[in-house]
Every structure is written in structure tokens, then in C-alpha cells.
Amino acid sequence: MIQPLLSERMLLEIAEHEGLVLEAYLDSVNVWTWGFGVTNNSGHKVGRYLKKPSTVERAVEVFEWLLRTRYLPQVRAAFRGRELTEAQLTAALSFHWNTGAIGQADWVQSFLLGRREKAWAEFMNWASPREIIDRRKAERALFFDGKWSGDGVVLLWERVRPNGTPDWKSGREIDIKDEVRAALARNAGAA
């Protein structure tokens, strides 16, 4: 089995868990965030989007770049060269994108030791804050059962209130498949 690179399906799955905000906003734990959950700790300065919305294309381009250059290598390292299916790699990448903790995750160690049931249970040790529970269940179902949930449609919030929080009532669904295909085409062959 050849270790999969980033695919359209992978990006769409993770993006759907995140949603998209085109200008910098304060997330649920008061961290400045932009795009598909990008923070300064992700490796891209988000202050440049404060009261200056980006395009959907730019958000997808940065999302793909960070996943490919920063997060994917860390996920591969955490699994110590073990080959993963596309579903497993996507779930682990989504988990790491959200937590930044793939190298410390107890479920990863249990999985590597062949303790599948223990790993399955430990996946939910990372279900805080409360609003992340459904995402964690979806990632677990993808990793252990190959059950995909993304379809290329994400929620987009175009307005951020003066206090820095998104106007959650302004959300609408958009299809980002074309933007994802374009980003992947620009970086074809990059690993």
C-alpha cells in the first residue's frame, strides 16, 4: 500500500469539521483564528485578516499548504512510518489539525501497540470543549470504521462582530470542491 498524499476527499472532510470564517475572529477559547481554524500556532499569522476578509480561494490555499507542509509530516512521524489508509490518515490529520497533539495522543500509542479497542475508547479522551464531541466521534468513526462524513459543503460565516466573534446567524453553506481542486493542482507532486 502506498501512503496517500493529500487528496480532495481528505481536505473536504477536514474542512467540513472546521467551517470557514474569512476574517480573523476569536474562537471558543478566545484565540484569534481565521479560515478553516488557522491560528498563529498553525504557522500562519492570522492578524492580517483582522477586519480584512480574505477570499475563499486564499483560505483553501493556506489550509492545504499548512496541512501538507506542517501537519501531515507530524502525523506520519507519530505513526512511525506505519502505512495508514486514506480514511485513517484523514482522521488522524483532522485530529491533529484540531488539537495539535498527535504526538501526545494516548489513542495513537494504543493503536501502534495493536490495542484497537483501547485506542477506540481513548479517542474520546480528547473531547473537550463540549462542542468538539461530534467532531471527535466522526474522526473516530473514520479512523476505525472508514466512515466518511464530508461532502465538500462547508458552513461559511462572512461577518465578524465588533467584539471579535463571528455572527453565527450569518452562516450559509458553500461548495468548496473547485477551490480544493485548484489548490491541489497547484501543488501536485508536493509531499
Where do the domains of the chain lie?
8-186
pLDDT single digits (tens) 1-33: 444 589 999 999 999 999 999 999 999 889 999
The answer to whether 142 and 10 have CB atoms below 8 angstroms apart is: no
Residues 6+ apart with CB under 8 A from 134: none
pTM of the complete model beyond 0.85: yes
pLDDT single digits (tens) 154-182: 999 988 999 999 998 889 999 999 999 99
pLDDT of residue 28: 83
Residue bearing the bigger pLDDT, 190 or 41:
41
Architecture of domain 8-186: Orthogonal Bundle (1.10)
pLDDT of residue 189: 56
pLDDT of residue 1: 42
pLDDT single digits (tens) 55-111: 999 999 999 999 999 999 999 999 997 999 999 999 999 999 999 999 999 999 999
Q: CA dihedral defined by 94, 31, 24, 153, rounded to 10 degrees? A: 30
Q: Over range 40-48, report the average pLDDT.
A: 94
pLDDT of residue 190: 52
Q: For residue 14, report the phi and psi dihedrals to the nearest 5 degrees.
A: -70, -40
Indicate the length of the chain as a whole number: 191
pLDDT of residue 188: 77
Q: Which of 149, 62, 130, 136 is nearest to 105 (CA)?
A: 136
